[in-house]
Amino acid sequence: MNSLTVTGLSVSFHIPGAVVRAVGDASFTVRPGRCLALVGESGCGKSVLAHALLGLLPGNARTSGSAVLTEGGTATELIGASERTLAERVRGRSIGLIPQSPATHLTPVRTARAQLAEALRELGRRPESADELARRFGLRPADLDRYPHELSGGMAQRVANTMALAGDPWLLLADEPTTGLDRDLVERAMATLRELCDEGRAVLLITHDLRAAERVADDLAVMYASRIVELGPAEEVLNRPHHPYSAGLFDAQPHRAFVPVPGMPPELTALPAGCAFAPRCPHRTALCDELPVRGARAACHHPLVHQEGSRA
Ligand SMILES: Nc1ncnc2c1ncn2[C@@H]1O[C@H](COP(=O)(O)OP(=O)(O)OP(=O)(O)O)[C@@H](O)[C@H]1O
Ligand code: NI
């Protein structure tokens, strides 16, 4: 079975006079038929993690750890892979990228058809299959003859999805696919991701929209200040979070308690040696000066305990 297994992935950026530790020791697996949502506040390292998997980090980035893409019995290490391998075999073919903002992702001066045909050509597929592919996403051939500004938000989203799927990737990476969309389109985008999962693709959804994550995720990873602090079945994590930060993040949501976590996350240039959440954590003890490792669920010395049948 295909899989993407990330183990101990770390990314830092070297900038004048400082090191930004953007991703620390991330580990997770993504499998066909499942959607893993990676949630966390702005700046915690989600996009950097995604870019590391696709070899899209800038020159000042230092990466360590491993991300193995297994397909049909062949394993490819993505970290440190050549640009050629990534461009010819990985991006668009194994891993499809669903863009952040479908409308702006498209070039304004060319029709949707021209752009889709080019994507197909680059993947070595028949440009004539554009109509067929588009139909799958509920687009009519005439829609493809429009320029991006002539497409509604929903149509632009479908065109972007069609392009992401042009190379028939088994794994889809969606980094904030719902940015700037109204609730209706968010709902539709999530329904599409769910369908793609249900037809056997794997989805890695990166978002700070917890409601969107709740809607589709099978598994949920919570990231705080560069680290995945909790990972588990979405239903479990959402209703019975083990990490105090997860609980705080969920309670801060407008559709939940709407109570923010006091304080601010640390600067990624000055992360503490121990638990990065400790300074804001009501449960901290001296133990928290030491970095907790993630076991089955949460990276926390004092995981929350939930009584049977209770809700967090
Ligand atoms: N090229 C770079 N050089 C230095 N720091 C960088 C660079 N790229 C990203 N960073 C820093 O890495 C950290 C993580 O950024 P990232 O874009 O992954 O956040 P994010 O979780 O995706 O946030 P958002 O929800 O806002 O998209 C940020 O502090 C950012 O400033
Ligand atoms: Ni991001």
ipTM of the complex: 0.99
Q: Ligand 1 pocket check: which of 44, 56, 209 to mutate, most ligand atoms within 8 Å of Cβ?
A: 44
Residue whose Cα lies nearest atom 28 of ligand 1: it is 43
Ligand 1 geometric centre to CA of 156 (Å)? 26
Cβ contact 302:285 at 8 Å: yes
Instruction: Give the atom of ligand 1 at the shortest distance from the alpha carbon of 50.
Output: 18
- For residues 125 and 131, give the distance between their C-alpha atoms in angstroms, rounded to a whole number: 13
Instruction: Give the atom of ligand 1 at the shortest distance from the alpha carbon of 206.
Output: 22
45: left (phi over 0), alpha (psi -120 to 50) or beta: left
Ligand 2 geometric centre to CA of 144 (Å)? 29
Q: Decide: 58 in ligand 1 pocket, CB within 6 A.
A: yes
State both tokens at 99: 């863009």
Residue 151 identity (one-letter amino acid) = L
State both tokens at 76: 């490819």
Q: Which residues pair with 223 in a beta bridge?
A: 228
Residues 6+ apart with CB under 8 A from 155: 139, 143, 146
State both tokens at 53: 């998997």
Residue whose Cα lies nearest atom 12 of ligand 1: it is 22
Q: Encode the chain (312 residues) as per-residue pLDDT tens digits.
A: 999 999 999 999 999 999 999 999 999 999 999 999 999 999 999 999 999 999 999 999 999 999 999 999 999 999 999 999 999 999 999 999 987 776 677 889 999 999 999 989 988 888 888 998 888 888 999 999 999 999 988 888 889 889 999 999 999 999 998 888 888 888 988 999 999 999 999 999 999 999 999 999 999 999 999 999 999 999 999 999 999 999 999 999 999 999 999 999 999 999 999 999 999 999 999 999 999 999 889 999 999 998 765 554
Residues 6+ apart with CB under 8 A from 242: 230, 232, 297, 298, 300, 303, 304
Kindly tell me the sign of the dihedral angle through the C-alpha atoms of 243, 244, 247, 252. Answer: negative
All structural domains of the chain: 1-83+218-312 (3.40.50.300)
Residue whose Cα lies nearest atom 31 of ligand 1: it is 43
Ligand 2 geometric centre to CA of 141 (Å)? 33
